[in-house]
Chain A
Amino acid sequence: EDQVTQSPEALRLQEGESSSLNCSYTVSGLRGLFWYRQDPGKGPEFLFTLYSAGEEKEKERLKATLTKKESFLHITAPKPEDSATYLCAVQARAPGTYKYIFGTGTRLKVLA
């Protein structure tokens, strides 16, 4: 069964304290792993797409990496404005189409 697990569930960091979020997945034939940021009451904001093991993407203080079983979102020197829920999703085959399966997310709080 296709599945996505994220850890930790919640994370509190001091400003400038780097850390990593984990996304473990089980899917038949990975067709993309996606990272999103979601602020309270808002829709998820797309961050990165990764397609194959070894691939890396960067954007400002964020860097996403992918292996055959998991993905990491590295946050370097975070700022309070990085506080949000970070969601990981994989694309799974469905009859006639594809669907995105989301993990439960990591709620990040960065303290000034």
Chain B
Amino acid sequence: DTEVTQTPKHLVMGMTNKKSLKCEQHMGHRAMYWYKQKAKKPPELMFVYSYEKLSINESVPSRFSPECPNSSLLNLHLHALQPEDSALYLCASSRIVGSANTEAFFGQGTRLTVV
């Protein structure tokens, strides 16, 4: 099983709303990632968690707040977003093996529209 499950699949939110994106995997992967993808662009790294600790924050605005409550779950809390934040948000996970991580498996994404 190489499944990463993201919910919801689609989300429309106003600029004053607070919402959360959820990601779940049961592959025993201890590295989890949030990526943002705009149309016709490659995925852009936002955050990396290793062993449930935040390892990388790619200078993401504070209106995006990640959380890793346990080794299977990853959340992205959203608050006071801007229309330019509309994008496909992708969660991924990978196994940590010695001096590198293995390939990352991606979820199907959450299509976010900010109005």
Contacts and interface: CB of A to CB of B under 8 A. Distances in A.
Interface of A: 31-32, 34, 36, 41-46, 49, 87, 89, 91, 94-105, 107
B42 A105 contact: yes
Contacts of A101: 45
Interface residues of B, number: 29
Contact of A46 (B41, B43, B50, B105): B105
Contacts of B79: none
A44 B106 contact: yes
A49 B102 contact: yes
Given A34-B103, A102-B42, 14 more contacts: A32-B100, A32-B101, A34-B104, A42-B108, A43-B106, A46-B105, A49-B103, A96-B50, A96-B55, A100-B92, A101-B45, A103-B42, A104-B41, A105-B42
Interface centre among B33, B42, B92, B109 (most CB of A within 10 A): B42
Contacts of A99: 33, 45, 48, 56
30 contacts: A41-B111, A42-B108, A42-B109, A43-B6, A43-B90, A43-B106, A43-B108, A43-B109, A44-B106, A46-B104, A46-B106, A49-B102, A87-B43, A89-B104, A94-B48, A95-B56, A96-B55, A97-B31, A97-B55, A98-B31, A98-B100, A99-B45, A99-B56, A100-B33, A100-B92, A101-B45, A102-B42, A102-B43, A103-B42, A104-B41
B66 interface: no
A91 B106 contact: no
A12 to B, nearest CB: 16
Contacts, number: 71
A91 B56 contact: no
Interface in B64-115: 88, 90, 92, 99-109, 111
B2 interface: yes
A100 B42 contact: no
Nearest to B90: A43
Contacts of B101: 31-32, 91, 97-98
